[in-house]
A and B are shown apart, each in its own frame.
Chain A
Amino acid sequence: EVQLVESGGGLVKPGESLRLSCAASGFSFNNAWMSWVRQGPGKGLEWIGLIKSESDGGTTVYAAPVKGRFSISRDDSENTVYLQMNSLKTEDTAVYYCSTYDSYFFDFWGQGSLVTVSS
């Protein structure tokens, strides 16, 4: 059974940093492209970025609103993908989901981790 479990969310002040983790199991993580998607309170889904498998170069792609502030990394030995968020803004308040990105679609999702940015 595929499982994705996010952790690390919480309440931070504007300008602060936070790192989310997503622990994966039940599939071949090292071959998977992984992505992060967020959803603001009462809002729709917003793609943040993705990281390719190491065999596909391990490169990252980001959405414009987070480029330069957020970074995605992975540790295949731990089956974990990370989202490092710096210079957080109030508009980054959202539930953050990690997902597998298979053939350009998000086929499995974690339960989400709430990040609240407020002074």
Chain B
Amino acid sequence: DIQMTQSPSSVSASVGDRVTITCRASQGISSWLAWYQQKPGKAPKLLIYAASSLQSGAPSRFSGSGSGTDFTLTISSLQPEDFATYFCQQANSFPVTFGGGTKVEIK
């Protein structure tokens, strides 16, 4: 199975800050990576797919980059509604696996 490792596990930031979350795959997954946002008590929401494609309806302040084993989710200017937990997911092979999550908290 492909292991997905996210870092950091949590980050404290202020409104307007630039936030970067990383995800590392245990083996190469090309660009088969997605990022999801989850707020407490809610279902995850797809933000980025194919490593860098912005899902329809997702704000443009979210961007993704990377390929192979190392990937990044960047929030260019953190907004109050962005405080949530973010998960990466690999789609290169079964079983589908997710990262452990990164909680973005208010500083």
Contacts and interface: CB of A to CB of B under 8 A. Distances in A.
B68 interface: no
A44 B99 contact: yes
A81 B32 CA distance: 25
Interface string A36-57: 0100000011110000000000
Interface in B24-51: 32, 34, 36, 42-46, 49-50
B65 interface: no
Given A47-B97, A47-B98, A63-B95, A105 B89 contact: yes
Among B32, B36, B95, which residue has the most Cβ atoms of chain A within 10 A?
B95
B95 A110 contact: no
Interface residues of B, number: 22
A111 B42 CA distance: 7
Given A44-B98, A47-B96, A47-B97, A105 B34 contact: yes
A44 to B, nearest CB: 5
B55 interface: yes
B95 A106 contact: no
A109 B37 CA distance: 12
A106 B97 contact: no
Contacts of B36: 45, 106
B87 interface: yes
A102 to B, nearest CB: 9
Interface of A: 35, 37, 44-47, 61, 63-64, 97, 103-107, 109-112
Interface of B: 32, 34, 36, 42-46, 49-50, 55, 87, 89, 91, 94-101
